[in-house]
Amino acid sequence: MANRRNVLLTGLWGMVALPSQATEDPTGGDPLGSMQWPDLRKTYLGNAQARFTDKVLVRAPAFADDALNVPLQIDARALQAQGGGIARMIVIADRNPIREVLTFEPLRALPLLAFRIRLEQASPIRCLVQTHDGQWHAGGVMVQAAGGGCTVPGVTRADGSWSQTLNQVQARFFTNLADASRRLRLQVMHPMDTGLVAGIPAFYIEQLELRDAGDQPWWRLALHEPVSENPLITLEMPAQGPREFRLVGQDNNGNRIDAGVRA
Amino acid sequence: MKAWSILAIALACCTAAVAQGTRQAPDQTRLDYRLQPRQIAADTWVIEGAVADFLPANGCNIINTAFIATGDGVVVVNTGPSRLYGEQQRRAIAAVTPQPVRMVLNLNLHPDYFFGNQAWGGVATQALAGSIAGMRAEGGGYADNLYRLCGDWMKGTEPTPAREALEPKAFTLGTHRLELRRLQGHTQDDLVLLDATSGVLFAGGLVFAERVPTTPHAHFAQWLQSLATLEQWRQQGQFKLLVPSHGPVDRGLQGIAQTRDWLQWLTALLEGSAPQGVDLSELLHTPIPSRFASWAAQPAELQRSLVQWYPAYERRALTRPPQ
């Protein structure tokens, strides 16, 4: 009897003595309060920790009126002078059926990128930024939505017109909008099918890269299914630099994208 | 496309209902809109909605409905956002006049103009043919959104498009000379009702007073043209009182200039930003001029307009060669 009571007492003491267990935060300290964060961190950062910081900005509307085209801008310019500069920026929508949106390697461009995504339901949208010293920095916002954006076909898929424009590129440089840089806006025509609409397999652009005449890359993008149909992407390039580039890339069916881009 | 109907009414957000004179707040527990007809001219009453965005707290009642007791029956203008509204509207009208309702008009295809039709069985519900086609095509999408936004207020509501297509015409009912006219721009088919006897114009969605205009089916050039037409009618003395579908009725006449001012500012913003390379995500943070600051339904309504319309301007700016 005495022994048993001791065991029980010890057990109780054990619980009390582990305050970290009693108060453990199931969101892993996520300022957006998302239960998915610990799992996402493990998936994308492995054992590394991320520092939540307002130096990583995600700009989005508070409410996504068009769940097929939610406009986002990610901005890590405040980290440029830190840790050797920015290696990559990963964008994730916690509660999308496909969570990974894109990875941006700014290389010689500014760490500032605008694009649009599909949103299946209200979700935190976050940007994980790795500096060259290996450190991770995280920022994000909560976006409300009626949702459904990942599971309905886009306009050109619905009317069948996508095949006439597949992988066509329109691009144009603009000046003097941010930091005296040159803004490049480009649109690649592609249905960006998520694979979540019955009978329509996933079909999306995987890689985009801007190269100069010497074949040197200026920035690189790895896209995933949640990027909106006919991606319209806005980048900031240094004011000084070549005027002739090529946009190269491919989709997951091996179709190539190769177009001249001239300032 | 589903996104279209989502845009039409994908409303959420945070705008506090603007307190409005004598209007009583609806009773959310008893689902009572507390509709209070207010007489604005001889034989003419309005039932004013909140000057706000769709919210459960206002019962999603943001529309001004109206009725004219002509002496030979009642003409009802718009039926509100739900079956429940239609039923309560019907009782509110019966409490004011014993005359039978002869005609129920839906001034355009948007849900708060016709979702109360369900309560008006046995009476001819009428709209322009194009509006009826739109109600049929988009009614389901509207219902999805209003159920999501408004909750219990929508109980038992089935989208019920107007049953009879009408043509613009002038006619006399009781002691009132009435004219139905077709304009365009807020939607493809904007019905306006002019009561030449009382000098009241029911302007539908063409005129917003002290509230940011909604633009899901807008054609901006046509809308501005229609506003010019309304202003011309006003200067000719065809009406002296204007009932907007949204916004305080007492400010209806000023609504013509207000709506024009907003549409001109909005289209200039759209047209001016794209050639500079501004991205939609940046445009959403545009500060609005102070003269609009007190208007209801912000920032949600402007964001909806920008998200819907700016991408076409962006595409044009990309295809045009640089200057």
Would you tell me which CATH number, out of the four given (3.80.10.10, 2.60.40.2470, 3.40.50.2300, 2.40.30.20), belongs to the domain A32-262? Answer: 2.60.40.2470
**Dihedrals φ, ψ of B58, to 5°?**
-100, 10
Residue A27 to residue B79: CA distance in whole angstroms: 47
A251 to chain B, closest Cα gap in Å:
22
> What pLDDT does residue A263 have?
85
B304 to chain A, closest Cα gap in Å:
6
> What pLDDT does residue B321 have?
58
> What pLDDT does residue B9 have?
38
Residues of chain B short of pLDDT 50, as ranges, are 1-21, 323
> What pLDDT does residue A2 have?
44
Domain positions in chain A are 32-262
Tell me which chain A residues have a C-beta less than 8 angstroms from the C-beta of B12: 63, 144, 146
**Tokens 């009773």 label which residue?**
B27
Report B:301-320 residues touching A (Cβ under 8 A).
Answer: 303-304, 307-308, 311, 314-315, 317-319
A2 to chain B, closest Cα gap in Å:
59
Tell me which chain A residues have a C-beta less than 8 angstroms from the C-beta of B13: 62-63
Residue A235 to residue B240: CA distance in whole angstroms: 54
In the numeric block, which tokens belong to residue B54? 């769709």
Residue A4 to residue B141: CA distance in whole angstroms: 65
> What pLDDT does residue B171 have?
98
Q: Are A63 and B306 in contact (CB under 8 A)?
A: no
Peptide bond into B100 cis (omega under 30): no
**Dihedrals φ, ψ of A252, to 5°?**
-75, -5
Tell me which chain B residues have a C-beta less than 8 angstroms from the C-beta of A234: 277, 279
Which ipTM score applies to this complex? Answer: 0.87
Report B:239-278 residues touching A (Cβ under 8 A).
Answer: 276-278
> What pLDDT does residue A245 have?
97
Supply the mean pLDDT for chain B: 91
**A to B CB pairs, distance under 8 Å:** 89
Residues of chain A short of pLDDT 50, as ranges, are 1-2, 5-20, 22
Residue numbers of the domain that contains B141? 2-319
Residue B206 to residue B182: CA distance in whole angstroms: 11
Residue B102 to residue B93: CA distance in whole angstroms: 13
> What pLDDT does residue A148 have?
86
Residue B262 to residue B256: CA distance in whole angstroms: 10
> What pLDDT does residue A23 have?
65
Q: What is the 3-state secondary structure (H, E, C) of B134-152?
A: HHHHHHHHHHHHHHHHHHH
Residue type, A179: D
* Helix axes of B252-273 and B220-235: crossing angle, nearest 10 degrees: 150
- How many domains does chain B divide into? 1
CATH assignment at residue B37: 3.60.15.10
Q: Which of B299, B309, B285 is nearest to B212 (CA)?
A: B299
Q: Which of A198, A253, A196 is nearest to A225 (CA)?
A: A196
Nearest CA in chain B to A117: B281
Tell me which chain A residues have a C-beta less than 8 angstroms from the C-beta of B280: 71, 114, 116
Tell me which chain B residues have a C-beta less than 8 angstroms from the C-beta of A187: 315, 318
